[in-house]
């Protein structure tokens, strides 16, 4: 599983990522509930001020990132977005 640091080698947009100055583990909380909730919300707050949030989200969706916060979304939110996309493609 690539970390946010790993993608800096394969994408030009990630050099502008707001998370470059953050602890990478912040973006991989054990769970968005319970003790990990504060960590999860902190990561999402960083994403909200990130200038490449949409590129990050596209990358995560296109590469099926199943863990962590990417583009300001949780794994469950990305799974829902992927399902919605699949439904749009099927209906097109």
* Least distance in angstroms from the C-beta of 89 to ligand SF4: 24
Considering the rule CB under 6 A, would residue 65 count as an interface residue with ligand SF4? no
Q: Is 56 assigned a ligand-binding role in the annotation?
A: yes
| Residue list 3-42, contact with ligand SF4 (CB under 6 A) | 4, 14, 17-19, 27
Number of helices and strands in the chain (H, E):
3, 0
Helices (H), the chain: 37-48, 53-62, 75-91
* Residues 82, 34: Cα–Cα separation, whole Å: 25
Q: Which is nearer to ligand SF4, 15 or 85 (CB)?
A: 15
């Amino acid at each position: 599983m690539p970390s946010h640091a790993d993608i800096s080698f394969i994408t030009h947009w990630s050099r502008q990522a707001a998370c470059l100055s953050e602890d990478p583990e912040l973006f991989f909380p054990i769970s968005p509930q319970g003790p990990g909730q504060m960590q999860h919300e902190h990561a999402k707050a960083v994403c909200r001020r990130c200038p490449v949030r949409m590129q990050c989200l596209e990358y995560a969706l296109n590469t099926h990132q199943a863990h962590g916060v990417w583009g300001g979304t949780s794994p469950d939110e990305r799974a829902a977005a992927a399902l919605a996309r699949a439904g749009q493609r099927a209906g097109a």
